[in-house]
Amino acid sequence: MTANPPDPQPETTPGLEPGGSVTPGDTPPIESSTSATNYREPDLPSERTNWLVIGGIALVVVVIAVLLVVRSI
């Protein structure tokens, strides 16, 4: 792989002092970012859907518990 990294190299970036700091009043170089992508976060389910899922899980647990109690009798 011969591609250069997307971030600027401090050794070859103009305006940087030794150690990587910038001179007073100078703007530091921009580094690459992935925050401006077109990916859209999916919408979260509603609170009602969350409670329905929790209720369904609780119902399954109760049914299994009842079946285990009935079987042990």
The answer to whether position 35 is within a domain reads no
pLDDT, tens digit (0-9, with 9 covering 90-100), for 6-45: 666 666 666 667 776 777 767 655 655 555 556 677 788 8
Model confidence at 66, in pLDDT bands (50, 70, 90)?
very high
- Per the structure, the count of domains in the chain is 1
Q: Is 70 helix (H, G, I), strand (E, B) or coil?
A: helix
The answer to whether position 66 is within a domain reads yes
Task: Return d(Cα 8, Cα 32) in angstroms, integer.
Answer: 9
Q: Is the dihedral of CA 51, 55, 61, 65 positive or negative?
A: positive
Residue 71: domain span: 46-73
- What is the structure's pLDDT at 44? 80
Is residue 32 within 8 A of residue 8, CB to CB? The reply is no
The answer to whether position 60 is within a domain reads yes
